[in-house]
Structure 1
């Protein structure tokens, strides 16, 4: 039986950081007054969510 040991918590930390940024981007998207600002909020949310997944895959071996 193989036991998988995680050497670092960087994956969890990056996922939490970028998840909070994604939530912030979604809040901007919902609460912003103009269409351009809503678009930037959506872009921030999508980029941060993607980076959260990438960070998890890179550091969670």
Structure 2
């Protein structure tokens, strides 16, 4: 018998937040002028995408 149920939307919220950061960083890759800025935007996009997946799983 289940006595306590905890539901949280934190996982969805963090996943959406990091997904938006990923999209913004990907757009930054497209509009950047030099190679260093593109590389930094790519790194931010990859880290944010990874954090979106982790957030969705951590608060399951």
Same-fold status (TM-score > 0.5): yes
In structure 2, the residue matched to 1:33 is 33
Equivalent residue number for residue 55 of structure 1 = 55
Deviation at 1:6, TM superposition (A): 6.3
Deviation at 1:13, TM superposition (A): 0.1
- CA shift, 1:50, in A, is 0.1
Structure-2 separation of matches of 1:29 and 1:39 = 8
* Structure with larger Rg: 2
State the 4+ residue runs in structure 1 displaced beyond 3 angstroms.
Answer: none
Residue correspondences, number: 56
TM score, norm. by length of structure 1:
0.87
Equivalents in 2 of 1:51, 1:8: separation in Å?
18
